[in-house]
A and B are shown apart, each in its own frame.
Chain A
């Protein structure tokens, strides 16, 4: 079950030598003479160790596809791109240190990455102080807000507000109006609740209760009876990753699915594979990408095929695909601008209209948020083409700025 990533693109030879010498404490100084034009370096901090290692490795694979495409297409007038992968261990302090090293030591031109709100905010704080473009590929509402935002900040991933809103709009119209929430008690959970409540406002939704659980909880048996007694039509489980897997498993054990429709904002591809069908069966969730749409969407097919070719027939996961888009948008902007100069690349990114894997996207001007579609998915229980065909897309909400939090609400002046 372990997968080995090809390490050739992830090892920075300079850091290897430097590290070894540091241990020996010999007073070397390292200026390995690089001939000709330097590569365009993209720093890529992701949590290779920790609970999301699988997602992170997929993000690395997808990013490698973007780099290979760019280089195969001639790069920037012959100048190639290079991916500097670093392990941030899902720890904001580590991530900030990695970002500092990437900028100061490795002279990275751009940074793409992160998989957690806290981590991306920490990296963003470092990059914006030093004027380096950062394209974040995981969820957060806070990164668009004026306090954290800077012109160097870009956000390829979905926001909790957008995701929850899309799922809410779908679910509330189909399954009922009496809603209960089981929410992880941290920013992400609260942001999801806010998204659902906004979506439900115009639809006559009645919120029966919102029970908060500590993040990392492994036992929901003390919360489920109370939720059951509320008798909701819909139970929205606002958490992520392992928390969600366990919550769904235990909710199934308690027989909740017999009386209530369970809805989650994000249903992870790797989560479904790791937790099995029983837990996820009958659950409706949202996602940024599912490879199965390749039948309808040519750009998805093209991306999937490239991924398959480079990685032995695998298909990309949802978070993985964002690794691809995060890197490709930056490189495309570099190409369009004809330079790696930060301000010119920013302008190019702001003007970019693209369709790399999931349909049309563009970055909103006020907060550099990528305006994109949200897919609503359910588990497949039959007609699965292969092991990876676990979801079916039941709805696809088209990109619409109105579904995002407004620029004013985020604190940006017009």
Chain B
């Protein structure tokens, strides 16, 4: 292939990791929610999109980007809390399909409400000035903002790790992911834990949406395709495993990036082929719990 240099491959790898960063954030939320609540959140893409739109609104009303990074997860996480309390809680105990189907319907509603409020056409989202431009990373010029996305994701991951490993609430979450019944028997108020976990998951999704907004602008449909890809990542990593989500996210990003080098029109189906392959060899994903069925 003409022009295939080591530099180019290096640049592609970086692009893949940057791409994977957004996947990682989404997959973590999905995995958290599934691991703790056994809920497959089909509205996750809608929350991602909400994050971008809330960010847009805040920016238009005089906010700055850094403030948004803090406010957006709080606002959308709050919405997530409400959703869990009002809509999902009544469905516990009915089987895995119901919350899945409910969030499916919810995503339609959220998207349409955004269309009604903000219009169908979508808006541009400017990269914050200090993050504009490209830097020389050794193998070539790479947009500074994408490096920021990688860094922001790393910060969130670190924060999450600290939270899970070093706080008692994090301990409960880890225990609950391992065995929800025992945790309840031990007297922990599981519903409150689930409420907070759902809020956290959606908050992280919103953060991802805000990060993605300068890369592609915002439209109401932006949650749709990325949800399918996020599911692939979550499933490949193993539902309920955060480490799996991180590894799978980066892997998928790199796979897309490398496929784009040789057969770019196959980039999308490559993700699905990867998922099919992994699941057929190891039905529970990299780190998923074996026997985790409906």
Contacts and interface: CB of A to CB of B under 8 A. Distances in A.
B216 A249 contact: yes
Contact of A226 (B3, B146, B265, B268): B3
Contacts of A249: 124, 215-217
A100 interface: no
Contacts of B120: 2, 49, 51, 53-54
Contacts of B96: none
A278 B118 CA distance: 21
A219 B143 CA distance: 13
Contacts of B122: 242, 274
A222 B118 contact: no
A229 interface: yes
A286 to B, nearest CB: 21
A274 B124 contact: yes
A225 B124 contact: no
Contact of B15 (A54, A209, A222): A222
Contacts of B12: 222, 225-226
B264 A254 contact: no
B119 interface: yes
Contact of A214 (B2, B11, B16, B268): B268
Contacts of A229: 3, 5, 8
B267 interface: yes
Nearest to A242: B219
Contact of B267 (A53, A213, A230): A213
B169 interface: no
Interface stretch (B36-44, B221-229, B244-252): B221-229
Interface extent on B, as a size class? 35 or more
B31 interface: no
Interface string B1-45: 011010010011001101100000000000000000000000000
Contact of A222 (B121, B216, B261): B261
Nearest to A255: B134
A248 to B, nearest CB: 10
Contacts, number: 113
Contacts of A179: none
Given A219-B215, A229-B5, A253-B145, A278 B264 contact: no
Interface string A178-221: 00000001000000000000000000000001011110111101
A2 B3 contact: no
Contacts of B18: 221
A270 interface: yes
A226 B8 contact: yes
Interface string B260-288: 11001101110000000000000000000
A329 interface: no
B264 A223 contact: yes
A99 to B, nearest CB: 23
Chain B interface SS verdict (over half): helix
B149 to A, nearest CB: 10
B15 A221 contact: yes
A276 B121 contact: no
Nearest to A253: B143
B8 A51 contact: no
Nearest to A280: B124
Nearest to A246: B216
A340 interface: no
Contacts of B215: 218-219, 221, 249-250, 253
Contacts of B159: none
Interface string B91-134: 00000000000000000000000001011111110110000111
A222 B124 contact: no
A279 interface: yes
A24 interface: no
Contact of A274 (B121, B127, B226, B260): B121
A409 interface: no
A245 interface: yes
B46 interface: no
A1 interface: yes
B124 A218 contact: no
Given A51-B221, A222-B19, A254 B134 contact: yes
Interface of B: 2-3, 5, 8, 11-12, 15-16, 18-19, 116, 118-124, 126-127, 132-134, 140-141, 143, 145-146, 215-217, 219, 221-222, 225-226, 256-257, 260-261, 264-265, 267-269
7 contacts: A211-B264, A221-B19, A222-B261, A226-B8, A249-B217, A253-B145, A275-B124
Given A221-B215, A250-B216, 11 more contacts: A1-B121, A2-B119, A221-B18, A221-B143, A225-B12, A225-B140, A228-B140, A230-B3, A254-B134, A254-B141, A275-B217
Interface of A: 1-2, 49, 51, 53-54, 185, 209, 211-214, 216-219, 221-223, 225-226, 228-230, 242, 245-246, 249-250, 253-255, 270, 273-276, 278-279
